Copies of this chain bind each other. A is one copy, B any other.
Amino acid sequence: MATIINGKELSKKIRMQVKEKVQELNKERIKPKLAVIMVGEDKASKIYLKNKSKACNEVGIEYEEFILNENIKMDELLELIRTLNEKKDIHGILLQSPIPKHLDIYKAFQTIDYRKDVDGFHPINIGRLVLNKQTFISCTPYGIIKMLEEYKIQLQGANVVILGRSNIVGKPLAQCLLNKDATVTICHSKTKNIEEITKKADIIISAIGKPKYVTENMVKQGAVVIDVGINRLETGEIVGDVDYEKVQEKASYITPVPGGVGPMTIAMLLNNVVIATKHLEQK
């Protein structure tokens, strides 16, 4: 039976560390602050924002929300971003996706001051990650790396297979792992013989959003299995991309859903806000 990688526990530990760092900054009269922009009334986004707000509050990071009407024009969105870029009391800016389709999210991300880009979505921060330079790493990949490190899972030379090539998870994660000397394979919807590829993997990381897609016949005995998926079944149950019950019998380490990667993402966001604050305040 696999060891369960407890993301909930680890995220608590990281949030405690962030809290201490915030308190140190407070002693120097620096108050880390995150600004969050939401456009429209997406239900899931509202829940995410509530969680982020709560998490900030718990560690002492100031939090301000900017809720824009779904009919807003691109110029107005960019104008708000530029205003927040200028504000000295704001250290991190986060644009909650999705945004309505008439808006260009890429342009919006690129307009955020890269020094306040705590989500790591600005192309310059992505480029710096590729070059293995100091940057903001997207919160989910960053959280996954932290988990693997916490459980002392060997990355150097490990054969890692990533399922999914999104800009938010798959692509930055591949860079992070390459920077840690892993051999990285990125699979996606066009990949052939995917089972043959995953069966060779020392570490499988699934981020494709298909419930119970990764079955035990795709997993090598003793592999590490990281599940980024958060899929809601018709029954209302939340499951990952991995057929957890069966795969855990074969894996050496596995992340549960919920309580695995999910809680790490917010913890790393808080961590990124502190990093941004220290840089901007030159501490």
Contact = CB atoms under 8 A, between A and B. Distances in A.
Contact of A183 (B159, B175, B190): B190
A192 B188 contact: no
Contact of A130 (B126, B157, B185, B196): B126
Interface stretch (A43-51, A94-102, A117-125): A117-125
A133 B200 CA distance: 32
Contact of A185 (B133, B165, B167, B184): B184
Contacts of A157: 190-192
A103 interface: no
A186 B131 CA distance: 15
A213 B171 CA distance: 29
Q: Interface SS of chain A: helix, strand, loop or mixed?
A: mixed
A190 B156 contact: yes
Contacts of A178: 165, 171, 186, 188
Interface in A29-64: none
B197 A188 contact: no
Nearest to A196: B200
A13 to B, nearest CB: 29
A218 to B, nearest CB: 15
A131 B187 CA distance: 16
Given A159-B197, A171-B175, A182-B190, 14 more contacts: A106-B133, A123-B126, A124-B124, A126-B127, A127-B127, A127-B128, A174-B174, A178-B188, A181-B190, A183-B185, A183-B187, A183-B192, A184-B185, A185-B186
20 contacts: A123-B124, A125-B127, A126-B126, A126-B127, A126-B131, A127-B130, A131-B167, A156-B190, A157-B192, A159-B192, A159-B193, A159-B197, A171-B178, A174-B186, A181-B190, A182-B190, A183-B186, A183-B188, A183-B192, A196-B200
Interface of A: 106, 122-128, 130-131, 133, 156-157, 159, 165, 167, 171, 174-175, 178, 181-188, 190-193, 196-197, 200
